[in-house]
Chain A
């Protein structure tokens, strides 16, 4: 991550009216924006549109950034809010969209019910488990996690944000972030151990 001084210098250069300096900022933070888009938005056209919207918002609001937080946290918050607003708006037209906490809680209950059902004696775990199968199984399970869980695990594991920073980005209390992080990883582990024999997983 860039030092505070170089970030200040970069922002000054951008505000001096040179859009090409903004390219430097885009390159520094495109991974963060990409991670959030990847986990929250499934449609590629929507991702393209939103990536532009996010960076233009960053450019237009850069003069109001006063280093009260890290630049990465501030950019993460803009990306988070833009995606959520987009999903909320879209839900008005497409009722089956995902952004609904109540719906997400139901989703988690369904996952738990699946696990319970799978643990019944009639369930036979797969006989063979290889690395790529396990990998693709876990990734599929990540995709069906509730949206806020997906965002928390991405920000924590891929962008190395602390719990406090994630709570700033998502605008929720730190306790909620901790709980999402714990529950999402436990759910993934439970799904995995339900699908495969524990012995098979001792690779």
Chain B
């Protein structure tokens, strides 16, 4: 049993229910020491108030405002992403054919890409670009751009990805 009064640390450990040495001694001391019992009562009142749930700092329905801000931000991001994707497609659609035209080796380059008649595409590409070569320059540019736009649109529609994965894929363009 303690002969001196209990320390503040002992009171706090005792009320926190944390393992503390000599807990039975503390309890014995409390039985006989009125001063320490009063101190313990004061601590108990403090603990009681500290454990009471305060009023909510949040307004009712505040989550609706958050969700609507998140939706708005997501829409803005999607708009910018779409804009960038379209810009990228237009640039690609106009510069690639120009490059092929200037270097004058459309079929050669494409054959190089789809080596050894890959999935039968060699002849397909030869036919498509053979057809394009027959046109004048401006028509050729427009048709090439249209082909690329259609391909991109199809990819975006048929990919079995959910929103953010598809968006991640299109980030590269």
A residues at B contact (CB < 8 Å): 15-17, 19-20, 22-23, 26-27, 30-31, 33-35, 37-38, 41, 44, 47-48, 51-52, 55-56, 59, 134-135, 138-139, 142, 153, 157-158, 181-182, 185-186, 188-189, 192-193, 198-199, 201-203
Tell me whether chain B's interface is mostly helix, strand or loop, or mixed: helix
Q: Is the CB of B66 within 8 A of A52?
A: yes
User: How far, in whole Å, are A90 and B41 apart by their CA atoms in the complex?
Assistant: 40
User: How far, in whole Å, are A55 and B51 apart by their CA atoms in the complex?
Assistant: 25
Q: With an 8 A cutoff between CB atoms, is B54 at the interface?
A: yes
User: How far, in whole Å, are A37 and B47 apart by their CA atoms in the complex?
Assistant: 21
Q: With an 8 A cutoff between CB atoms, is B109 at the interface?
A: no
Which of the 9-residue segments B20-28, B57-65, B86-94, B140-148 touches chain A? B57-65
Q: Is the CB of B46 within 8 A of A188?
A: yes
Q: Is the CB of B66 within 8 A of A47?
A: no
**Can you report 7 residue pairs joining A to B where beta carbons are below 8 Å apart?**
A30-B62, A35-B57, A55-B66, A157-B51, A185-B46, A185-B47, A198-B35
- Closest B residue to A187 by CB, please name it: B46
Q: Is the CB of B12 within 8 A of A52?
A: no
Q: With an 8 A cutoff between CB atoms, is B8 at the interface?
A: yes
Tell me whether chain A's interface is mostly helix, strand or loop, or mixed: helix
User: How far, in whole Å, are A173 and B64 apart by their CA atoms in the complex?
Assistant: 37
- Closest A residue to B164 by CB, please name it: A17
- Cβ of A200 to closest chain B Cβ, rounded Å: 9
User: How far, in whole Å, are A202 and B45 apart by their CA atoms in the complex?
Assistant: 10
User: How far, in whole Å, are A35 and B56 apart by their CA atoms in the complex?
Assistant: 8
Of A38, A142, A201, the residue contacting B57 (CB under 8 A) is A38
A134: chain B residues at CB < 8 Å are 45
B residues at A contact (CB < 8 Å): 8-9, 11-12, 35, 37-39, 41-43, 45-47, 49-51, 53-59, 62-63, 65-67, 69-71, 73-74, 162-164
- Cβ of A99 to closest chain B Cβ, rounded Å: 17
10 more CB-based (< 8 A) A-B contacts, given A19-B70, A23-B67, A201-B42 = A17-B74, A19-B67, A38-B55, A51-B66, A157-B47, A158-B53, A158-B54, A181-B12, A189-B46, A203-B45
- Cβ of B16 to closest chain A Cβ, rounded Å: 9
User: How far, in whole Å, are A20 and B47 apart by their CA atoms in the complex?
Assistant: 38
- Cβ of A184 to closest chain B Cβ, rounded Å: 9
B71: chain A residues at CB < 8 Å are 19
A20: chain B residues at CB < 8 Å are 67
- Closest B residue to A19 by CB, please name it: B70
Top 8 closest A-B pairs, CB basis?
Answer: A198-B38, A17-B163, A37-B57, A38-B57, A157-B50, A138-B49, A34-B57, A26-B63
- Closest B residue to A35 by CB, please name it: B54
B39: chain A residues at CB < 8 Å are 189, 193, 198
